[in-house]
Chains A and B, each alone.
Chain A
């Protein structure tokens, strides 16, 4: 069910108005790829992007941030927390990344609520943009059931215009359910002329409704949405042989597989897989002193379980000293442990890890090879 309809240009006008109140982050073309970047005007956004090289996690959980500053004055220690609350809007977030943010929300609010993350999150409006077809080759979001988002956004846009146009001209994946994606997935889709809108939160509803720029959906719009969902379902193909709910059991059987050693001999332990993953949330904490040595900052920075010293503790003892055990650990986290702990997918199938790996280690291949062994 659609809540509203809005044209592409009316939507951009709305975002321009929003830019007076919030910093706007969205997809921007840099060379041949798209990246989430801050923009001044909605016109700088490229909402016809295929995928962003990295997810928007850096805007909620920055690569490096100060947690508190501290100083020693006449022998007394004083600290002051640093919490960011800058109003922000993430515009054009695909379902995989919305699902990834849901996981980050769950992780940072449970046990010890992380005010640094949560404050940024509370001040962030998320405007989702659904994917009518796979954004590129190699993704497996439909296997993870994360190519759709049911919550985690304030407003969700369905690019209905794009489907109608593409279907009519016969060049897109939206038109013929039997044909599957016929365009090269790497080509960014044409800019949609209008969006079907679904509200996720009262904040999203209020924002979209206040300006009277959207219209009430007609019966034809609802039919277009149904058609959209049908062609979308046909456009996404299974990449992983094992259904995602059975991956934990598959991994249970695969702990001693020879695959881990055999694959990890290629692994650089460079951590690119972790650091480009929208669901990775590990960090390392350290202090930075200024030259007086009596004042400084406590900071945190992204960490990753494939990095060589990730599991090093006092001693020093490294309980995952070998690349093979670290690779296995990452895959277990993504497809088993996180799901068991949070009831949410630990991997959203965006394949950023696979694309980032200069050793061409592919998580899809790992799952499929394990399925063959089992």
Chain B
């Protein structure tokens, strides 16, 4: 089998996720031995558009992003969204709740009119996405696992449990015991519960684990806890895990 040709693209984002790939120092050489990276702005100047797997970080938030993501899709046999921005819209979606012109003026200053924008959205709102590696930033180990699966012809599956599972495995005291509303019970595991392990609540950067869990959150936060629902909603919105105007 010839080496799979891999590309790494960025849309609206901090490009932290593509950088995370370069941070896989210990395994990077192994990966480079097993694949051909043919298109990667962060790491190379030559580019090709004959791509087996295209990884994309960043949300779609401008008309140019739409054109680009369509081009990435057409050029890649398999398209993989990496990071919260690409999977749920990520932190960019915060602008979706603000006045669009104000926002643009803030970011681009005087020339704001030159930069048209649309509400920030995940790739899957525009093109077919074959796999998602969520998280802000994406989890390096998960990326590695994805690449191994692709090379071995195995199906890659995201964890289907909540972050709480990883928190328990790490022997953490649950933040609810300190009166903190953590989004772990509704958020997809895979990050090794890194935030609760350092004492911060989970903010759902890996997206919702299931609609049922979200529905349970709606019931529990209304019936079992005395909390301001707007505050919880703000946490849900931070990484675009849930963008409805009310909890279900």
Q: Which residues in A have some Cβ–Cβ distance to B below 8 Å?
A: 30-31, 33, 35, 53-54, 58, 63-64, 265-272, 275-276, 289, 291, 293, 301-302, 304, 307-309, 323, 355-356, 358-360
Contact = CB atoms under 8 A, between A and B. Distances in A.
A272 B213 CA distance: 13
B135 interface: no
A275 B184 CA distance: 14
Nearest to A309: B160
Interface stretch (B4-12, B26-34, B110-118, B233-241): B26-34
Contacts of A54: 168, 171
Interface residues of B, number: 36
Nearest to A265: B219
Contacts of B148: 289, 291, 293
B101 interface: no
Contacts of B209: 308
A307 B176 CA distance: 20
Nearest to B152: A293
Contacts of B216: 265-269, 323, 359
Contacts of B176: 358
Contacts, number: 102
Given A291-B148, A359-B220, A308 B171 contact: no
A109 B160 CA distance: 31
Contacts of B215: 265
Task: Please classify the interface of chain A as helix (H, G, I), strand (E, B), loop, or mixed, using the class held by over half of its residues.
Answer: loop
B138 interface: no
A266 B177 contact: no
Contacts of A33: 173, 177
Contacts of A359: 185, 216, 220, 224
B174 interface: yes
B219 A358 contact: no
Contacts of A266: 216, 219-220, 223-224
Contacts of B212: 269, 308, 323
Given A266-B224, A291-B34, A358 B169 contact: no
A143 B57 CA distance: 55
B171 A58 contact: yes
Interface string B167-208: 111110110110000101110000000000000000000000
B162 interface: yes
A52 to B, nearest CB: 10
B227 interface: no
B161 interface: yes
A359 B176 CA distance: 10
Contact of B185 (A53, A270, A275, A323): A270
A301 B168 CA distance: 12
A197 B162 CA distance: 44
Q: Which residue, of B34, B173, B210, B223, has the highest number of chain A Cβ atoms within 10 A?
A: B173
Given A268-B216, A268-B220, A270-B184, 14 more contacts: A30-B173, A63-B168, A265-B219, A266-B223, A268-B186, A271-B162, A272-B168, A272-B185, A275-B168, A291-B31, A301-B169, A309-B161, A323-B216, A359-B220
